[in-house]
């Protein structure tokens, strides 16, 4: 009898829990049949609001973008109603927040929100692959740019009903319930699940136990999903081999081909790509492969290896992680080493890629460490790109060091696999203690590596480390007289082009910090920069270019001589490598 009573209580409690989970949800209806004015028309039906839920929050940023978005800028006509249809008092208290006076009385919220692609803003433009677009033949939704949440309800389920033309196809990692609602387990999950819809093509494949779908919008129909499947299928196979099976059961690639090429944004079960519609020539194919390899590897980090800052993301105020080096730098390393180890890229090709990353790294501020770049990513937008350059070279060196210390038995790949097994999608590592964990899982010497090159900004030991695998490295080796160079990096400060770094100021006459006003008599703006510098492509060594500059608040005119380009960051395979070097190189070039 006692057993039956306990069982009855258990069933009763289970019913209560299930009932609560059903009520702990918010329903969103998006009318995509009305696509006027480049706006999404949204209706929200909340559940069980209390005085604690009186703020409706739009995102200030989103995971993996490292930029200020302030989505509230795009919101219009935000209104609240009770179940009689009467308006309730609402006050906009900040860019991203609406305060509702009597949240307990709310039956529905309505608002329109402009798409980010066609809405001009004065600052903080939203990356297209992380934004929204709504047109006659398609729409793109990234969750943080359409949906909001009530304070205290970020972890509640979200049900989404999409009303759209019957001839549209939907591409998303979300699944529908029996009522036709797309279901997300939380606000974080809806942000992690972009939706591409419209006149799309679709292709499918299976990589071991993982179902992979490719959805493609191509403005004129030039590019089909089957074309893209042929482009990236070998990358998917290589990544599966690299990590011994993919840690997801399904994955969606969402491709948008129209007017511009801007890149991609990763998610746990999908990734969104924005490219200019053009024939799939070899350079375009190589570019798509490179980006897809990077984005797809994010299923390892940060999906399965991340700190509590990623697990519990703060959409109100950006709180950034010092471990950007892991999320982006290691991912970029993996995207290339995977191709080398699966013979999709030659050793020469890999070394040229590494060389180009080091060349680009030269133009960034070398005093900024990878951890500082992570913590200040939104404050250092001009430096952020180095996470894909120096940020990828450092894991290359770390991998070699681990293989050396383990006598070829344990590299960075093996460390990532152990971290994946230790953590996973719903278990985060400690933001503060992660470096200590890495040392504990590897070797004491790795602490010195971390302190010098990840937490610190000491010059990289590129020559020393590549020598361990029988590859010689030269920071500079001669010049190429067939290639012209200004000997400077041109950067952006505010709305102006500047000389960001001058390697040969005595020869060029250009100094760091010079603001470029005119080139060859053409007034220079961000919009016409390519046109203004068009002459450079026709110049040869010994020719010159005329600049008008602002230097220390004075206008100066400089004639800069064109020099031969130095051969920088050169790698050469040593034909006389020792047996020990050859053995370590062989291990480095294959999956253990």
Burial 253-262, CB ≥16 within 10 A → b, else e: bbbbbbeebb
At 496 the pLDDT is 80
At 55 the pLDDT is 98
pLDDT tens, position by position, 261-311: 999 999 999 999 999 999 999 999 999 999 999 999 999 988 899 999 888
Q: Which two tokens stand for residue 53?
A: 């839920």
Burial 280-298, CB ≥16 within 10 A → b, else e: beeebbeebbbbbbbbbbb
At 23 the pLDDT is 44
pLDDT in tens, the chain (592 residues): 343 333 333 443 444 333 334 445 899 999 999 999 999 999 999 999 999 999 999 999 998 888 899 999 999 999 999 999 999 999 999 999 999 999 999 999 999 999 999 999 999 999 999 999 999 999 999 999 999 999 999 999 999 999 999 999 999 999 999 999 999 999 999 999 999 999 999 999 999 999 999 999 999 999 999 999 999 999 999 999 999 888 889 999 999 999 999 999 999 999 999 999 999 999 999 999 999 999 999 999 888 999 998 888 899 987 889 999 999 999 999 999 999 999 999 999 999 999 999 998 987 889 999 999 999 998 888 889 999 999 999 999 999 999 999 999 999 999 999 999 999 888 999 999 999 999 999 999 999 999 999 999 999 999 999 999 999 999 999 888 777 788 777 777 766 888 876 655 556 788 888 999 999 888 888 667 777 787 777 888 888 889 999 999 999 999 988 888 889 999 999 999 999 999 999 999 999 8
Neighbours of 505 (CB within 10 A): 15
Dihedral pair phi/psi, residue 91, rounded to 5°: -130, 130
Cα–Cα distance for residue pair 268/574, rounded to 1 Å = 41
At 422 the pLDDT is 95
Which residues touch 533 (CB under 8 Å, ≥6 apart)? Answer: 519
Cα–Cα distance for residue pair 328/472, rounded to 1 Å = 27
At 11 the pLDDT is 40
Cα–Cα distance for residue pair 157/23, rounded to 1 Å = 9
At 425 the pLDDT is 84
Domains of the chain with CATH codes:
25-195 (2.60.40.3650), 200-293 (1.10.390.10), 300-471+585-592 (1.10.390.10), 487-561 (2.30.42.60)
At 20 the pLDDT is 37
Give the full edge-to-edge strand order of the sheet including 210-218: 201-207, 210-218, 250-258, 270-276, 263-266
Cα–Cα distance for residue pair 541/533, rounded to 1 Å = 16
Q: Residue 429 carries which DSSP code?
A: B
Which residues make beta-bridge pairs with 498?
491, 515
H-state helical runs in 216-279:
225-242
Q: Residue 442 carries which DSSP code?
A: S
CA atoms within 13 A on the CB side of 37: 9
pTM for this prediction: 0.84
Q: Which two tokens stand for residue 548?
A: 């008008």
Burial of 579 (0-12, 13-18, 19+ CB in 10 A): exposed
Q: Which two tokens stand for residue 58?
A: 């739009």
At 281 the pLDDT is 96
């Amino acid at each position: 009898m006692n057993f039956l009573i306990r069982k009855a209580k258990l069933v009763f409690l289970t019913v209560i829990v299930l009932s609560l989970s059903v009520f702990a949800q918010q329903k969103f209806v998006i009318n995509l049949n009305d696509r006027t004015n480049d706006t999404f028309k949204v209706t929200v039906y909340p559940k069980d609001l209390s005085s604690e839920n009186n703020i409706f929050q739009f995102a200030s940023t989103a995971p993996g973008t490292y930029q200020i978005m302030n989505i509230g800028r795009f919101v219009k006509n935000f209104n609240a109603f009770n179940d009689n249809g009467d308006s309730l008092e609402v006050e906009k208290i900040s860019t991203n927040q609406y305060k509702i006076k009597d949240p307990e009385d709310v039956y529905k919220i309505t608002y329109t929100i402009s798409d980010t692609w066609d809405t001009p803003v004065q600052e903080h433009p939203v990356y297209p692959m992380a934004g929204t677009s709504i047109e006659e033949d398609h729409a793109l939704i990234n969750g943080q740019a359409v949906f909001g949440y009530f304070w205290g309800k970020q972890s509640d389920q979200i049900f989404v009903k999409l009303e759209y033309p019957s001839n549209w196809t939907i591409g998303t990692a979300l699944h529908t319930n029996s009522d036709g609602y797309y279901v997300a387990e939380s606000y974080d999950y809806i942000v992690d699940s972009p939706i591409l819809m419209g006149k799309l093509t679709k292709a499918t494949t299976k990589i071991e136990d993982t179902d992979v779908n490719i959805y493609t919008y191509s403005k004129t129909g030039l590019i089909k999903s089957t074309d893209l499947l042929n482009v990236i299928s070998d990358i998917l196979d290589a990544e599966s081999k690299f990590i011994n099976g993919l840690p997801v059961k399904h994955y969606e690639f969402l491709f948008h081909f129209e007017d511009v090429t801007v890149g991609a944004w990763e998610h746990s079960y999908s990734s969104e790509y924005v490219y200019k519609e053009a024939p799939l020539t070899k350079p375009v194919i190589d570019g798509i492969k490179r980006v897809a390899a990077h984005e797809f590897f994010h299923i390892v980090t940060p999906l399965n290896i991340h700190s509590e800052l990623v697990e519990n993301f703060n959409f109100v105020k950006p709180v950034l992680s010092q471990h950007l080096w892991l999320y982006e730098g290691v991912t970029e390393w993996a995207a290339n080493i995977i191709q080398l180890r699966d013979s999709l890229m030659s050793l020469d090709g890999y070394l040229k890629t590494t060389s180009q990353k080091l060349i680009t790294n030269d133009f960034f501020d070398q005093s900024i460490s990878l951890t500082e770049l992570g913590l200040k990513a939104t404050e250092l937008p001009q430096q952020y790109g180095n996470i894909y350059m120096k940020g990828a070279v450092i894991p290359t060196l770390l991998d070699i060091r681990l293989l050396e210390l383990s006598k070829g038995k344990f590299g960075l790949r093996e460390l990532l696999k152990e971290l994946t097994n230790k953590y996973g999608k719903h278990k985060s590592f400690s933001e503060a203690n992660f470096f200590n964990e890495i040392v504990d899982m590897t070797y004491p010497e790795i602490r010195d590596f971390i302190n010098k090159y990840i937490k610190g900004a000491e010059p990289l030991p590129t020559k020393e480390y590549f020598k361990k695998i029988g590859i010689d490295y030269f920071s500079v080796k001669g010049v190429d007289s067939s290639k012209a160079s200004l000997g400077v990096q041109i950067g952006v400060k505010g709305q102006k082009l500047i000389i960001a770094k001058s390697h040969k100021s005595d020869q060029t006459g250009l100094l760091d910090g010079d603001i470029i006003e005119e080139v060859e008599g053409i007034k220079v703006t961000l919009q016409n920069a390519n046109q203004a510098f068009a002459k450079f492509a026709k110049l040869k060594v010994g020719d010159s270019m005329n600049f008008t500059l602002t230097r220390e608040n004075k206008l100066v005119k400089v004639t800069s001589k064109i020099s031969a380009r130095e051969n920088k960051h050169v790698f050469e395979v040593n034909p006389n490598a020792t047996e020990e070097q050859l053995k370590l190189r062989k291990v480095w070039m294959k999956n253990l």
